Amino acid sequence: MEYFAGEYDVVVVGAGHAGCEAALACARMGMKTLVTAINLDSIAMMACNPSIGGPAKGNLVREIDALGGEMGVNIDHTMIQIRTLNTKKGPAVRAFRAQADKKRYSERMKEVLENQENLHVKQAEIVEILTENNKVTGVKTQLGAIYNCKAVVVATGVYLNGKVVIGDVSYEGGPNGLFPAKKLSECLKKLGFELRRFKTGTPARIDGKSVDLSKMVEQPGDETIKHFSFMTDDIEMEQKSCYLTYTNETTHKIIRDNIHRSPLYTGGIEGVGPRYCPSIETKIVNFPERESHQIFIEPEGLNTREMYVQGMSTSLPEDVQIDMLRSVKGLENCVMMRTGYAIDYDCINPQQLKLSLEAKHIDGLFFAGQINGSSGYEEAAAQGLIAGINAALKLKGKEPLILDRSEAYIGVLIDDLVTKGTNEPYRMMTSRAEYRLILRQDNADLRLTQKGYDIGLVTEERYQRFIKKKQNIENELERLKKKTIGASDKVKEFLNKYKSADIKSGISLYDLLKRPEIKYQYLAEIDDEMPGLTEEEAEELEIQIKYEGYIKKQLAQVEQFKKLEGKKIPEDIDYKEIKGLSSEARQKLTEIRPVNIGQASRISGVSPADISVLMVYMEQLKRR
């Protein structure tokens, strides 16, 4: 029986990584917000790997943090190890990756939600989104409760029509033994959304007592403990190590001998799996020439012996999984605590969304996370934050926050999903970003904090920290340009020490620092006026100076990009009227309805010739 249960500005459906960021953003921006989860114990649950960050993903976390989101703060408080990846490569691809205590990560995020002003947390399954005249009016729960609202953010993760598959066994279910969401898919279909079926998977968890770590290569954390959030001060903790081992020919033979029992190859799995995080059986089939594959054994927390077998995602039968694991060096006697599984789930075609993540045909309905066809905690959280921000801005009567591809990895992620679409679970990678040299993790706050402050999500304390950091860097850049040193004995001795070429006359400290072998902290040996920059400030300063030429080139490319993004396409344009467009371009442009020429040029099937025709037509419209 239905009953009226309350009224909210925004209802967020789902409390995974996307739902948490969406709910917090709405509440912090003054919206009365309700966030629901089928099970409150699943809030911010790490159903797969117990880690946050990595190449491109770490950049997303820092951007979420710079805009006022929670993920960076949460991992800083709950991590048990952190490493900087790609340290021997350039700054564009360096990234932090932290191992989390997965239970503490979830518990702390739940605590943050529960203590957030304007935010109510409720265990409930939303079975229907209520609309009138293509506009959101509320939601209905499985128990008949109706909550009126003006906007809804759908962040259901992999729960929609979830089906767990292990060998020839399959059953309806969500991740980690939770219930699936059975009825919302039908509602979305009735609302006109195109649904598709994707798959994700996870490896077994094993008992740490049964693992021989002495046979593996230890992977300790960094000596200096870094942090994701710009608001986190120094962290003190005893880090837990991960361990590296490898599959071998015996492992591969076990998999090949049982491939006929894999639901990936028997048709037991309907969904399309992630290309860049394949199952171990897919690796063996697709790369038969490989003699081994890396396997990382990762602790799941401080108060558990469970360990995650990174690199061995599988849906093979349980008995095969045990044999497969025990063929690996160090795992000969391992005890499996949780069986690896695949999960099929429903998601929407993200091309039905605007760049704000609002549905094109239903006012006030936003989508974020894996329901948009992405994979990964970080990708989900980034979308959740933007969906939440834009739901709040919409209700305030303000323009949405749209980050473009030159401003943030978040912009690349959302533009890729909405403009290009995806036929498989989408993962963020540095190679997807054309302007990655200026979208580094070290400068995320300099790029985005002002935007977060302007929309009311960044606190005054964070903003003042940002202003101070920005000013410190700018002041020191100017000082280094002005201060010159001569060819004194002290300077010659300094240059010789660091195997740097001698100077014949005066040189600015700025130009000296452009030399690859000279680091900023070395300058203290010949410069007694150096200010006390923080480690982060010094890193940002050094990157700006050493990569100045490359950064200037990329900024020039961005200028060209901005020109195309600035050419707005009228909302009511009728592509059927434009002579000279190919039939495919006409169809794609009508479906996606790009907001500017730049976005139109990135649509698959729209050629440069079509863009030329469109620009000529828009010029004619302008003249009229």
Q: What is the mean pLDDT of residues 463-471?
A: 96
Fold of 3-202+345-454: FAD/NAD(P)-binding domain (3.50.50)
Q: Model confidence at 538, in pLDDT bands (50, 70, 90)?
A: very high
Residue 624 has pLDDT above 80, yes or no: no
CATH top-level class of 460-556: mainly alpha
Q: What is the mean pLDDT of residues 403-408?
A: 96
Q: Model confidence at 376, in pLDDT bands (50, 70, 90)?
A: very high
CA dihedral 439, 441, 443, 446 (to 10 degrees): 90
The structural domains of the chain, with segments of one domain joined by +, span: 3-202+345-454, 205-341, 460-556, 566-623
Could you tell me if residue 182 is left (phi over 0), alpha (psi between -120 and 50 degrees) or otherwise beta?
Answer: alpha
> CA nearest 314: which of 279, 282, 265?
279
| Residue 194 C-alpha from the chain's centroid | 24
pLDDT tens-digit readout, 110-138: 999 999 999 999 999 999 999 999 999 99
pLDDT tens-digit readout, 32-74: 999 999 999 999 999 999 999 999 999 999 999 999 999 999 9
> CA nearest 10: which of 569, 476, 395?
395
- Given this model, what pLDDT does residue 550 score? 93
- Given this model, what pLDDT does residue 276 score? 80
Q: Model confidence at 102, in pLDDT bands (50, 70, 90)?
A: very high
Q: Model confidence at 504, in pLDDT bands (50, 70, 90)?
A: confident
> CA nearest 106: which of 16, 181, 166, 188?
16
Burial bucket for residue 223 (CB in 10 Å: 0-12, 13-18, 19+): exposed
**274 vs 377, which has greater pLDDT?**
377
Q: What is the mean pLDDT of residues 180-200?
A: 95
Is domain 566-623 annotated with CATH 1.10.150.570?
yes
> CA nearest 130: which of 145, 111, 117?
145
- Given this model, what pLDDT does residue 192 score? 97
What CA–CA distance (Å, rounded) separates 378 from 49? 12
- Residue 527: phi and psi, rounded to 5, are -135, 110
Amino acid at 43: I
pLDDT tens-digit readout, 434-445: 999 999 999 999
> CA nearest 435: which of 545, 558, 550, 600?
558
Amino acid at 555: L
What CA–CA distance (Å, rounded) separates 473 from 170? 57
- Residues in contact with 289: Cβ distance below 8 Å, sequence separation at least 6, in sequence order: none
Q: DSSP letter at 441? A: S
- Residue 343: phi and psi, rounded to 5, are -135, 125
- Given this model, what pLDDT does residue 505 score? 87
Amino acid at 300: E
- Given this model, what pLDDT does residue 273 score? 84
- CATH of span 205-341: 2.40.30.260
- Residue 464: phi and psi, rounded to 5, are -65, -35
- Given this model, what pLDDT does residue 236 score? 87
The model's pTM is: 0.95
Residue 231 has pLDDT above 80, yes or no: yes
- Residue 466: phi and psi, rounded to 5, are -60, -45
Q: Model confidence at 521, in pLDDT bands (50, 70, 90)?
A: very high
Number of neighbours of residue 275 by Cβ within 10 angstroms: 13
User: What average pLDDT does the structure give for the chain?
Assistant: 95
Burial bucket for residue 57 (CB in 10 Å: 0-12, 13-18, 19+): buried
